[in-house]
Structure 1
Amino acid sequence: MTKAAKKPATKAAASKPAAKATKTAPAAAAAAAPTKLGKTELTDVIATNANLSKKDAAAAMGAMLDAVASALKAGQTVGLPGVGTLAVKATSARTGVRPGTSEKIEIPAGKKVSFKVATDLKKNL
């Protein structure tokens, strides 16, 4: 091999293919469906399906989410027909390890929200 063949590519030559790839990546990402249905999109869907204004749909969704949160805070189970069930479960105290130092720490008992998917939804996924 000659010295010229061993010579690494220049930065300008190396960055050109990367620049082309970045120009097409946003276009491909924009064409793909969003992976998250946010509050605004969900409000739009509710407004369309229930024949409500966006303001009324947002108020209805907010009231429903407040009701779910207050029920969970009260320790109740919340069933969402066709979607699943939300429930509050107690967690026991346990010993954990701090990742940075490998120091053993005590994690206190607490509560968490669990979700069980409805069987109909699970079958149709």
Structure 2
Amino acid sequence: MTKKSPAKTATKPAAAKPAAPAAEAAATEKLGKTQLIDLVATQTSLTKKEAGAAVDAALEAIVEALRGGKSVGLPGVGTFSVKATAARQGVRPGTSEKIQIPAGKKVSYKVASTLKADL
């Protein structure tokens, strides 16, 4: 029979953390699709709905080109391309069992030299 630990009777109040505005925290970590659409709408004369359609169309064109095996170059940003991966032997985590990983494809990205220099 195992002993149970005694239940806690008193709890400490949670320490108050200074709350950062959600928009500020999101701006420093990641630019999501919604924020990208907002930026396109503010920098052009498009409505948010039109900007959303434009961003969706651009992303779909990039994905379709990659599915077709083409590389996509975005001036000042970089180049996306599809690369083949060879079949290889791997190890399953936890069991250390040797497994065969089949050949496949992956999307590769090479940053533009102008962007790299600006960072």
TM-score (normalised: structure 1): 0.80
Would the alpha carbon gap of residues 11 and 123 (structure 1) be closer, same or farther in structure 2, given more than 3 Å must change? farther
Q: Point out the structure with max Rg over C-alpha.
A: 1
Match of 2:25 among 9, 20, 33: 33
- The yes-or-no answer on 1:24 pairing with 2:24 is no
- The yes-or-no answer on 1:109 pairing with 2:73 is no
Partner of 1:79 in structure 2? 73
More helix by share: 1
Name the amino acid aligned to 1:69: V
Partner of 1:46 in structure 2? 40
Q: How many angstroms apart in 2 are the aligned matches of 1:72 and 1:31? A: 32
What runs of 5+ residues in structure 1 fail to find an aligned partner?
1-9
Q: How many angstroms apart in 2 are the aligned matches of 1:123 and 1:59? A: 32
Tell me the number of residue pairs that the alignment of Structure 1 and Structure 2 aligns: 109
Aligned 1:53-72 pairs, distance under 5 A: 53-72=47-66
Name the amino acid aligned to 1:33: A
User: What's the RMSD between the two structures over aligned residues?
Assistant: 1.7
Kindly state the Cα deviation for residue 32 of structure 1 after the two structures are TM-superposed.
4.5
Provide runs of 4+ in structure 1 moved above 3 Å.
Answer: 28-33
Q: How many angstroms apart in 1 are the aligned matches of 2:20 and 2:10? A: 26
Name the amino acid aligned to 1:111: K
What runs of 5+ residues in structure 2 fail to find an aligned partner?
1-8
